[in-house]
Structure 1
Amino acid sequence: MVFKIGLLGLGTVGIGTAQILLDSSGRNPLLEEIVVSQIGVRSLEKTRPIKFPPGVITTDLVAIVTDPEINIVVELLGGLEPARTMILQAIDQGKHVVTANKAVIARHGDEIYEAANRAGVYVLLEASVGGGIPIIKPLKQSLGANRITSIIGIVNGTTNYILTQMTTAGADFSDALVEAQHLGYAEADSTADVDGLDAADKIAILASLGFGERVQRESVYCEGIRKVSTVDIAYADKLGFVIKLLAIAKISEKTESRILQLRVHPTLVPKSHPLASVEGVNNAILVEGDPLGQVMFYGPGAGSGPTASAVVSDIMNIVAILKSNNHTQTLNPLLSCTHQHYCQITPIEAIETRFYARFLTKDVPGVIGNLGRSFGNYQVSLESVVQIGFKEELAEIVVVTHYVCEGNFRTALDEVRTLETIKSIPSVLRVL
């Protein structure tokens, strides 16, 4: 049997995907039955590292998704449009879809999956989170017997590279970003990465799969790394932490019903924690459940080869189903997505976490006592208070709290700002 693929997009991941499909030697024999029939691109003029037969590459994307001979449409265009429209048109034509597009799935997954379930086709997205790290299928299948309690991860290689350079080389944020762009780890417009938007898309997808309910992307609290300074990285190191951009989905404690925390922000991570040693462009996702306990998925989170590996694994999954003649039967619930209800999300001000805060104060007696009183007024308990040194004749004080309600902590900070001895609060970060 021969299974024809329509490939939308021939960028970095598209090229990697085509290379695997065109060179099946030494790989799974199933690949020998897969043919790249058509490839949709924005321009025919661009020079590409692979030569295809005449007529394979086209700018007519609609012709690909409506071609009756194509079994699977592989969407690697990126962005929201025309990717969303092409996916929906392919589904309407009864075609299965493989995508690496986390933005489309995070924002329009409801619409896409409802259409796919009506049409009786699969939409698989292993490559949308973690690059080459298998995490989507494990959450759907291997870990399906567990009651998942938390998913915490470093899911953006660009920001992890920047923070690693700031930590190991002492580079400031802007220099580390420029270097990441020069090496191809960051796009010219890196907003989605450094502002945490990419990570928020990914944790929305993982949370939906792990906790079995739909997630509204706009419910994910999001902070990026632009305000993280080398000063805070150095202080974190002295206190036994490293700073990472974490994507967190977890069951809120002290609630009678099942309510999730969903957030992305820079976080002080204890050096003893499994995620603390994840450096460079690597990703890692720590899943905790009952009865499993903890398991971590680690590896390259982006790039042509790793991401293409995940794309092709999804293609092979669908081809295996088509070969078994089960594609006309009810969709396999371990591969499809049938969530009906939206999960409840804890407002950020109601979560309980620890905090790190750095203050610049007048060098006079009673400053630390005043800080302690203001925090105590709002049930904020301090784990440690350290006067680090001086900065331009101002004392620099760092505090780390015990677990505290974020709303109480923020209200306490408002009072602290009114103290005559407090000149500024340069940074506030959460602690894992």
Structure 2
Amino acid sequence: MSTPIKVALLGCGTVGSEVVRLITEQSDDLTARIGAPLQIVGIAVRRPERHPDVSPELLTTDVDALLAKDIDVVVEVIGGIEPVKSWLLRALGAGVSVVSANKALVAEAGDELQAAAAAGGADLYYEAAVAGAIPILRPLSESLTGDRITQVMGIVNGTTNYILSRMDEAGSSFSEALSEATDLGYAEADPTADVDGFDAASKAAILAGIAFHSPVVAADVYREGISAVTAADVASAREMDCTIKLLAICERVPDEGGEAISVRVYPAMLPRSHPLASVGDAFNAVYVEAEAAGPLMFYGKGAGGAPTASAVLGDVVAVARNKVARSNGAQLARYAGLPVRPMGKTPTRYHVSLDVADRAGVLAAVASEFAANGVSISTVRQEGRGEDAQLVIVTHIAPDEALAATVEKLRASDLVRDVLSVMRVEGKDS
């Protein structure tokens, strides 16, 4: 049997404590799978007194001293950018492999960390950074590496999926559903990262970079949250046999003389026939389209201590096997270098609800505004309410900037009393 693989943990919260538990309880099985035992040699925490179930001699508040030890793998489950980034660069530079669940860091500095890993002869794995227990990053980077991926579309934030599911199924308002999510522990006390789409945007950047072999960071991702979604939007979606989901969408799009990447996060109406439409509660799912493999669906728990720890430990096992074999995992290829297309140039469809005067000529005037911006209308529904009427218009695919310009013209029109809602429509062909 090989000498132990020495593991240091940075952080021992919900996920970290589960990693420690799994390594301890599954010690014999893990040893058999790896070919060497895993040995935890230290755990860096801020308040050791808050971890009574962990052996005191393993706990330390001195990260620098822990990293100076003879270690093989650093498991980072703290989160944030600095000082974590500096710690991980230091470890990788010293030839220590890193397993991280830090989506924000990977989305901002993944290529820098990968370069440090290559220079130091170490591995960098971060399966747990996207969609918790769902294996998606390694299938994209390894299983599908012989294929050409055209689109990755996913529900990658459980908090927002729970909120939108409750709005759809129970008729809850956004605030009511958010309160439920908070009570159940799905939403943080400050839910901004979730409901404003920051969490999903980080994950979208990671997915796009791997799927399309190009550098993508979180700042490249167009982002809208769900706080403006109303009960009326949910009802309109239902009338179209759709549901509303916060989608992370990464896809190849045509560009001048070649291809580009569109990476975006926003709430969208999705046909109930689409595989992602049935993903409810706080579950996550990622839908992949590849030229040879066709459509693929990955589904499961996207967050939580045990599910995320499962993904972390899977990476630890992979890294440890590489250590035993005296090798390294494959480096991510960024050979394509595709540009990220601005949102305005990205083709989308809109669902627009307008409050207008119920009189002759209004519909024609509204339609002319769409035509003036080169936007074709797919369907129109009008409901009269005395002297008022509600127009619901669904467009064909057009550049997003053309659709946005049309909406701004309508807002300024004397014939339109109010633009009640604007939402994109995904999962339809035209």
Q: Please give the TM-score of this superposition, normalised by the length of structure 1.
A: 0.94
For the residues of structure 1 that align with 2:424 and 2:143, how far apart are their CA atoms?
Answer: 32
Instruction: Indicate the residue corresponding to 1:18 in structure 2.
Output: 20
Mapped contact 1:361–1:421 kept (Cα < 8 A): yes
Correspondent of 2:49 among 31, 45, 53: 45
Q: Which amino acid aligns with 1:287?
A: V
Contact 2:93 2:119 in 1 (8 A): no
Give me the whole-angstrom Cα distance separating, in 2, the residues matched to 1:295 and 1:340. 24
Deviation at 1:140, TM superposition (A): 1.1
Q: Give the CA RMSD over aligned residues.
A: 1.7
SS in 1 for 2:334: coil
* Structure 2 counterpart SS, 1:74: strand
Q: Which amino acid aligns with 1:411?
A: A
Equivalent residues of 1:4, 1:71 under 8 A apart: yes
Measured after TM superposition, the shift of residue 393 of structure 1 is: 6.3
5 Å-filtered alignment, 1:328-407, equals 331-333=328-330, 336-339=331-334, 342-388=337-383, 390=385, 394-407=388-401
Q: 2:141–2:332: 8 Å Cα contact kept in structure 1? A: no
8 Å CA contact 1:66–1:89 kept in 2: the answer is no
Whether 1:73 and 2:74 are equivalent positions in the alignment is yes
What is the CA deviation profile of residues 346-375 of structure 1, one whole-angstrom value per residue up to 9, with x for unaligned ones?
A: 111111111101111122222222111111
The within-5 A match list for 1:193-272 is 193-253=194-254, 255-272=256-273
What is the alpha-carbon distance in structure 2 between the residues aligned to residue 102 and residue 364 of structure 1?
A: 53
How many angstroms apart in 2 are the aligned matches of 1:245 and 1:403? Answer: 19
Given that 1:155 and 1:283 are in contact with CA atoms closer than 8 Å, whether structure 2 keeps it comes out as yes
Aligned: 1:34 with 2:38:
yes
Aligned to 2:84: 83
- Equivalent pair of 1:66/1:93 in contact (CA under 8 Å): no
The percent identity for this pair of structures is 40
* Contact persistence 2:213–2:337 (CA under 8 A): no
In the other structure, the counterpart of 1:177 is 178
Over 6 Å off, 4+ runs:
none
Aligned AA (1:38) = G
Shift of 1:305: 1.0
Q: Distance in 1 between matches of 2:399 and 2:389?
A: 27
Aligned equivalents of 1:238 and 1:315: distance in 2? 47
**2:379 aligns to what SS in structure 1?**
strand
Q: Which moved more, 1:73-82 or 1:86-95?
A: 86-95
Pairing partner for 2:64 from 46, 55, 62: 62
- Does the CA-based 8 Å contact 1:157-1:302 persist in structure 2? yes
Answer with 222-231 or 252-261: which moved more: 252-261
Output one character per residue of 1:47-86: Cα deviation in whole Å (capped at 9) or x when no partner.
Answer: 55xx232310111111122212x11000000111222122
CA distance in 1, matches of 2:218, 2:141: 20
Within 1, Cα distance between the matches of 2:421 and 2:254?
27
1:342: Cα distance to partner?
A: 4.0
* Residue range with higher mean Cα deviation, 188-197 or 417-426: 417-426
The one-letter code of the counterpart of 2:33 is L
- Distance, in Å, in 1 between the alignment partners of 2:412 and 2:318 is 60
Query: 1:340, CA displacement in angstroms?
Result: 5.8
Aligned to 1:416: 410
SS of the counterpart of 2:166?
helix
The code of the aligned residue for 1:415 comes to: K
Matches of 2:306 and 2:390, distance apart in 1 = 46
User: Residue 278 of structure 1: CA displacement?
Assistant: 0.5
Deviation of 1:255 (Å): 4.9
Whole-angstrom CA distance in 2 between matches of 1:73 and 1:26: 21
Alpha carbons of structure 1 residues 167 and 26: separation in structure 2 relative to 1, 3 Å: farther
TM-score (norm 2): 0.94
Deviation at 1:216, TM superposition (A): 3.0
Distance 1:122 1:424, change over 3 A: same
Q: 1:342 to 1:189 in 2, by over 3 A?
A: farther
8 Å contact from structure 1 (residues 152, 246) kept in 2: yes
| Shift, 1:156, TM fit | 0.6
Determine the C-alpha separation between the residues in 2 that align with 1:287 and 1:271. Answer: 18
> Do the aligned residues in 1 keep the contact of 2:237 with 2:244 (CA within 8 Å)?
yes
Whole-angstrom distance in 2 between the partners of 1:261 and 1:412 = 22
Cα offset for 1:179? 1.3
Distance in 2 of aligned mates of 1:310 and 1:255:
39
Q: Which runs of 5+ in 1 are unaligned?
A: none
The answer (yes or no) to whether the contact 1:75–1:98 under 8 Å persists in 2 is yes
Residue 316 of structure 1 deviates from its aligned partner by 0.3
